[in-house]
Each structure stands twice: as structure tokens, then as C-alpha cells.
Structure 1
Amino acid sequence: MTPPLNAAALEPLNTGALPAHWNRGIDKAAIDRAIARALEAVDRNLAHFGDAFPMPSSQGGVYPAMDNTEWTNGFWTGMLWLAYELTGAARYRDAGLRHVASFHARQRDRINVNHHDLGFLYSLSCVSGYQLTGEPLAAEAALGAARMLLERYLPGAGIIQAWGELSDPAQRGRMIIDCNLNLPLLYWASDFTGDPAFRTAADRHIEAAARHIVRPDGSTFHTFFFDPASGAPLHGKTHQGYADDSCWARGQAWGISGFPLVYRHNGDGRLVDLGKVLANYYLNRLPADGICYWDLVFTSGPEPRDSSGAAIAACGLLELARNLPLADPLRPAYERAAAGMVLTLAGDYADTSGTPGAGLLKHGVYHKPNGVGVDEACIWGDYFYLEALVRLTRTWRPYW
């Protein structure tokens, strides 16, 4: 029998504490209305931004425009590709291909690529573009980004360093849970080229994340440090959560989504088991309406919610559910929770102002400790909300 990756225990899921209306299942008409409203927002913003990109979070409910220089730019392009899949409309394809050219230039000129978020950037812009159109430039750009991501792999520690120069002592040996969703770019590159080095790095990184970022109670550290030479685990630390020993909600959502997404690529069923541990911990700590506070240490009170974390978690629950046996009672529970979460977002958190440049979802949080993007739209929240709507309407082949 294969030993578990982690000693974390699976909490029983307290379904009685989840919103009662989540048990009604998928309301197809409501999902269709939410998609129509989301596409209207994408069209408004496509006209508003042109070939520019939204900033990571809104200011006063509206995203400022920016060039292709942030770690978040791929989420907007990913929304264009999702809109193209939903409609087949050429305007989304054409805009997405213009973005592909921009992303190709970015990796060629190495513009702000000194971080692990190359997967967020290039899986959603260029792997997706290649998958949907066969555009060779998209594959070339994605492969260039994957090579840069592989440069960040520290063999001694078996991790991909998150941020900064590899020689920076403040960042040396740091991994973060967000990187789970950057790993599919490496698996794609390995399959595309036949080079096992990409896959080996991704396999070792996800095992380190499973063993050290996930705590015994099923919560997660945001970041974890290793000795880069020996690989010895050192300590966990938060960057955007409430405290080092709390559980940053969006980080837990990255784990719920990322572990089963990596299972798609490496077939290690222990990642699905671990995804269940993280999912139950998350679902058992939600407030009455089921939309998380910015840190799971909070379950009531005046602290801000994070709609973006909820959208990521919904996608993760749907990915997790599809990898569970039909007889597993958690499979329908996760499907109902994900659908309920998305419908709650659509009903109570969607931006219905019709303002050009506004996000799809209100009440997100970018970086609460630094006071950035608090109670604003976050572009990743918009992306994952639309991805979740797509997942609820079809068997969807992820860009991840």
C-alpha cells in the first residue's frame, strides 16, 4: 500500500453547517443568467481596456489599465479564452491571439519574470491559446516561460523558489502554496518536448508542498522555507494571512484546487486524498452564507470576505469531485457546495453596475496585511468565477 504524502487527518465534513440552499443542486437557469451577465462584463471590459490589461485589483470598484508587466495579466487573457469557448465568437479569439503576441514578447525580453507565477501567466494565456487554436507562437511562448520556471528549481531542496533573485538570502529556499497552480505549465512542457526535467521538478515540488505546507490538522501555511542546499525543512510563515499559525483562505483554496490539478498530470492518487483533507477543513470554517473571510481564523464579525478565494475554492471542489469515485459520499457533497458557492457569488457578490472596467465580483481581498485591494474586485477572482461557471455547464478541459 502506498503511504500517504502527509499525516494530516481528514475532518468529517459538517454538511449541516453549510447553507441549506446549497443542497438544492445546480440551478441551470441561474447559471445561464450568471454566464450571460459575465459575458456582458467581458465585452464591456474588452472595449474599455483594448489591448491593455486590468491591474491586479480594482480601485473604487474599477480596474486601472496597465501594460503586460504584472503576475496577474494571464487571468484577463484566460477570461477571453473562456468567453471564446462559451460563444465561439471571433472577437475573443482575435483579442486572445493579440495577447499571445504580447506574452511572447514578455518572455523573450524577460519582463518581470523573476518569480514562480509564470504558470498563472502562461497557462492561461498561451497553453490555452495553443490548445484552442493551434497557434505556434502560443506554444513557443509557453515553452519559453516553462524554461524560465525550471530555472527557479532548487534541486537540493526539491522546490521551485517563489520570488526574487535565486541568490537573495531573504527569499532563498521559499516555496508558497500558490505554486501548485504554476506546476501544470511544467507538465505541459514535459509532454510537449519529451524532456523529463520539467516533470521531475514539478513532481518533487508538489511532494514538498504536500509534506510541509499542509499542517497535521489540514490547514496550510502560505509559505515554507527550506535550506536550499541540504533541503532541510525550516519553518512555515505567512505572507498575506492573519498570522503564521492561521490559515489564509485564498491559500487554502489554492491547495484545494492545485493538488487535484497536479493529479491530472502525475496520477498520484495521494494528492486527491490530500485535497479532501484541505476541502473539509475549508468548508467546516465558512460563515453562514458560505463565502469565506480573508483568513479562515475568522468565521464571523466585521472582517472582509474574499470572494476571490471562494471562486478558486469552487473550481477546486469541482476538480476534486471529478477525481473521486462515484460511490464516495464526498463527491456529491463537493459538487453541491461548489454549485451553491457559485450561485451565492452570482446572487450576492456579482458586480451588476455595468461600469466599464468593473470586475465580475465585488468584495475580494488582494493583500489584507498591506491594505491593498481590500473589498475590491480581484482579477483572479473574476477568472475563477467564470471558470467555475464553465465547469458547471460542460465537461471542460482545463488550461492548467
Structure 2
Amino acid sequence: MPRAPAALLQTVDDSGLPDRYTRTPDVTRRTLERALSTAIDSIDENLDEFNDQFPGPSSEGLVYSATDNTDGWTTSFWTGLCWLAYEVTGERRFRDAAQAQLATFERRLDCGEVTTHDLGFLYTLSAIAGYRLTEIEQYRSAALTAADLLVERFWDAPGLIQAWGDHASPEDSWERGRMIVDSMMNLPLLFWASEVTGDSMYASIAERHARTNAQYIVRSDGSTFHTFKCDVETGAPLGGETAQGYDADSCWSRGQTWAIYGYALAADYADEGAYAQLSAKLANYYLSHVEADHVPRWDFDAPADQSYRDTSAAAIAACGLDELAHRLPLADTRARGYENAAIATLGSLGEQYSTDRSESNGLLTQGAYDPTDGDYDECCIWGDYFYVEGLVRATEHWSRYW
């Protein structure tokens, strides 16, 4: 069995929150409000092009092409942007756009697209967000169907949700028992399913995966592997690898931010303070290695000739750090530091990394989807989503979708 959260924390070193985040950043609320308004204007301008289609995962020349909602893990980030714009403005056209897109997510379930753990990404920002905002029963039903499909990917012996491949197919045996750090952001789908059904099975699986992830993907220094495999029959650890980081032993910055945010969310759902403390240790590692302008390199250990930035990781970090600040005890003085880091990050993204709307239909430049495949220095749709979520967190009274 995986170790209990409090026990596993003893194995993680903690270098502490960097001193620069104890100071209030020079970023005004008005600056963030203007950035949010600009972002919503950009979403509005793209509603017609991306109605029942979606921006691709990353741009080409800072311009997204349209894609259908048939595969991949990123389509819901556009739907999430539409829901955010609807909440901020109250304008019906944003809600109508999101609801038009939801029909494609329902069709996707009917077509059997289940060979991925990314059901959490796909249905949290589409169906769960839609149900929270409209109380339309079919959105609840779609999200619960997705949760059931995610449960099917759970391996009991190691206590993990398999990330990639058909878990039941011998042809995908190479992926059998592989979890990835991104999965921490898919667990809210299961926690939510327990909340709305009263069935604790979903949350129990989410917690078991969170503990296994903490045991094997989180390293002793507070950095993370991208992927880790376990034997599905015995539960024995088989070792860590990477798919999008520099190498197996490096720290891929976007993966680090998935873990920061994911454990802060798990701390709330599970009412488990040890998860918040683990999120803080992960955050301290991240903040100790991020660049001076609060935007990380795509991999903290990549060589100098591959020091591409990843604004999408910074945007995720801004949201995760804000969530973490709210999950720590009131007496924990670090909470203010994490809030400062979130605001400083949003300020830097808006000032230094915003696109020119006359040349781009995205929001942030220098996103790095996968530099190992030559995909960097572009817009990334999840980076755009988390940037706007971060701005909404900083300027609005908002109840999260996750």
C-alpha cells in the first residue's frame, strides 16, 4: 500500500520559500483587470471561428488552426475560456458558444474515445463547468460517464490510474502501469463525482492515485518525474522516465506546476493538510528555480542551448500558487508569499508575453508544448486558459471549475 501523506512528506527536502516572494509585487489590481478585459475581447473575436471547432493544442506562427473534438486532450481549454468569459461578463453569447461545444464532448463519449487519462481535463472544463453554471442535467450525466471511464483505467495493485494507451490491450503493454504527473489535474473529476453521487469509490481511487504519485513521481528534493511505471500485478516500482522533459532525471517545469496545482486541489477535496504541505514543497522547488521574470524554462535542467521559456507552465503555476495560498492554515505565513508569487507571475505574463492581437488569435507567446519535437515559442491553448483563470482568480469572486 502507498504510504500515508504525512509519512511520505518526511522524505521530501524543502529549501523554503525564496525571500523575493515575501515582498508585495509591483502589480496593481487595475493592471490585472485591464489584462483580463483584453483577454476576453480576444476570446470574443474568435467565437465565430471556434464555434463547434476548437483551437489546436499549439499555434503555428502564433495563430491557432481549427480542429475537431475527436481526439487529444486540449479542446476543453477553449470551452473553459468561454465559460470564464460568460461568468465575468454575463454575456449570453459566451454561454451559447460553450453549450454548442458541449454537444461535441457528448458525441466524443458516444464514439468511445477512452484510451487516455485526460478525461479529467476534457470534462471538468466542459461538462462540470457547464453543470455548475447552468444545472443542466445532461452535463452532469456526461461528466459522470467520463468519471466512470477514468475509473476503468485504475490498477489496484500499484494504486494508480494508467495515463496512456488502452489499458486492456496487449498491444499497448508498453504503457501498462504508467502514470504521469499531469494526472493530478484529472483527479478533480473523480472527487467531484463522489460529491454529486455520494459514492466514495471515486474519491478513494483519486486519493490512492495521489498517494502513489507522491510516493514515486515526487523526488526527495521536491522535483518531479514526468512519468513513472509500476508493475500492475505486484505494484512494484519500475522507474521514472520522461516524454516531454529534457531527460528522465530532469525536472520538466510544466509537470512541476501540474503537481503544485493538483496537490493543492487534493488538499481541499480530501481535507488533508499533508497534501497542502506537499504542494508547498513542490512550489518552493519551482520558485527557487524559476527565472527572474517569474517565467520558467521548459525544463529546469535543460542545457543553455535549449533554454526555451514556457509561459504555459507559468500560467498553471499562478493558479496553483493561488489555490495553495488558500489551502494552508491561517497562521501559515507562507500563504502571502504564494499569493505574491501568483500576482508577480500574472503581471509578468501580461507585460512581457502578451500577443499582438493584430497578428495572433492566442493570448501568450513563448509557450512550449514539446521542445523535444520542435514545438516551442508558440501559443498553447492551456496556457491561455490558465492565464485567464489566474486573472479571474486575482480580480473576481470566483468558484473554481476544478
TM-score, with length taken from structure 2: 0.94
Query: Match of 1:157?
Result: 158
Question: What is the identity, as a one-letter code, of the residue corresponding to 1:203?
Answer: E
Question: What is the identity, as a one-letter code, of the residue corresponding to 1:85?
Answer: E
Alpha-carbon offset, residue 23 of structure 1:
2.8
Query: Match of 1:394?
Result: 396
Select 2:289's aligned residue among 268, 276, 285.
285
In 1, Cα distance between the equivalents of 2:26 and 2:396? 15
Query: Match of 1:190?
Result: 194
Change beyond 3 A, Cα 1:253–1:392: same
Q: How does 1:87-166 map to 2 (within 5 A)?
A: 87-110=89-112, 112-166=113-167
Change beyond 3 A, Cα 1:259–1:303: same
Aligned pair 1:179/2:183, yes or no?
Answer: yes
Aligned pair 1:43/2:44, yes or no?
Answer: yes
Alpha-carbon offset, residue 221 of structure 1:
0.4
Query: Match of 1:330?
Result: 334
> What is the DSSP-based 3-state SS (H/G/I as helix, E as strand, rest coil) of the residue aligned with 2:330?
coil
Query: Match of 1:316?
Result: 320
Whether the 8 Å contact between 1:339 and 1:392 is mirrored in structure 2 is: yes
Alpha-carbon offset, residue 2 of structure 1:
7.6
Runs (5+) with no aligned partner, structure 2: none
Query: Match of 1:76?
Result: 78
Whether the 8 Å contact between 1:5 and 1:270 is mirrored in structure 2 is: no
In 2, Cα distance between the equivalents of 1:375 and 1:133? 37
Alpha-carbon offset, residue 99 of structure 1:
1.4
Query: Match of 1:360?
Result: 363
Whether the 8 Å contact between 2:369 and 2:380 is mirrored in structure 1 is: yes
Listed one character per residue, the Cα deviations across residues 325-363 of structure 1 (whole Å, up to 9, x for unaligned) are 23322111111111010010001101123346x211110
Whether the 8 Å contact between 2:119 and 2:150 is mirrored in structure 1 is: yes
Change beyond 3 A, Cα 1:380–1:313: same
Whether the 8 Å contact between 2:51 and 2:100 is mirrored in structure 1 is: no
Alpha-carbon offset, residue 289 of structure 1:
1.3
Query: Match of 1:251?
Result: 255
Query: Match of 1:29?
Result: 30
Whether the 8 Å contact between 2:5 and 2:275 is mirrored in structure 1 is: no
Whether the 8 Å contact between 1:287 and 1:300 is mirrored in structure 2 is: no
In 2, Cα distance between the equivalents of 1:231 and 1:350? 45
Change beyond 3 A, Cα 1:27–1:301: farther
Query: Match of 1:4?
Result: 7
In 1, Cα distance between the equivalents of 2:340 and 2:123? 31
Query: Match of 1:267?
Result: 271
Query: Match of 1:376?
Result: 378
> What is the DSSP-based 3-state SS (H/G/I as helix, E as strand, rest coil) of the residue aligned with 2:124?
helix
In 2, Cα distance between the equivalents of 1:286 and 1:238? 20
Paired residues in the alignment total 394
> What is the DSSP-based 3-state SS (H/G/I as helix, E as strand, rest coil) of the residue aligned with 1:347?
helix
Q: How does 1:209-224 map to 2 (within 5 A)?
A: 209-224=213-228
In 2, Cα distance between the equivalents of 1:360 and 1:162? 29
Query: Match of 2:60?
Result: 59
Bigger drift between 187-196 and 130-139 goes to 187-196
Whether the 8 Å contact between 1:293 and 1:306 is mirrored in structure 2 is: yes
Whether the 8 Å contact between 1:293 and 1:299 is mirrored in structure 2 is: no
Listed one character per residue, the Cα deviations across residues 112-131 of structure 1 (whole Å, up to 9, x for unaligned) are 33100000000000000000
Listed one character per residue, the Cα deviations across residues 345-393 of structure 1 (whole Å, up to 9, x for unaligned) are 001101123346x21111000011122x311000000000000001001
Listed one character per residue, the Cα deviations across residues 162-212 of structure 1 (whole Å, up to 9, x for unaligned) are 000113221000000100010010111122222222111111000001111
Bigger drift between 192-201 and 135-144 goes to 192-201
Query: Match of 1:232?
Result: 236
Change beyond 3 A, Cα 1:261–1:47: same
In 2, Cα distance between the equivalents of 1:315 and 1:189? 22
Whether the 8 Å contact between 1:26 and 1:336 is mirrored in structure 2 is: no
In 2, Cα distance between the equivalents of 1:339 and 1:328? 19
Change beyond 3 A, Cα 1:299–1:45: farther
The CA RMSD measured in Å over matched residues stands at 1.7
Alpha-carbon offset, residue 135 of structure 1:
1.1
In 2, Cα distance between the equivalents of 1:271 and 1:383? 25
Q: How does 1:287-306 map to 2 (within 5 A)?
A: 287-298=291-302, 303-306=307-310
TM-score, with length taken from structure 1: 0.95
In 2, Cα distance between the equivalents of 1:25 and 1:127? 35
Bigger drift between 247-256 and 227-236 goes to 227-236
Alpha-carbon offset, residue 108 of structure 1:
1.9
Whether the 8 Å contact between 2:273 and 2:328 is mirrored in structure 1 is: no
Whether the 8 Å contact between 1:246 and 1:296 is mirrored in structure 2 is: yes
In 2, Cα distance between the equivalents of 1:149 and 1:108? 15
Listed one character per residue, the Cα deviations across residues 125-181 of structure 1 (whole Å, up to 9, x for unaligned) are 000000000111111111111111111011111100000011322100000010001
Question: What is the identity, as a one-letter code, of the residue corresponding to 2:195?
Answer: D
Whether the 8 Å contact between 2:16 and 2:281 is mirrored in structure 1 is: no
Whether the 8 Å contact between 1:285 and 1:299 is mirrored in structure 2 is: no
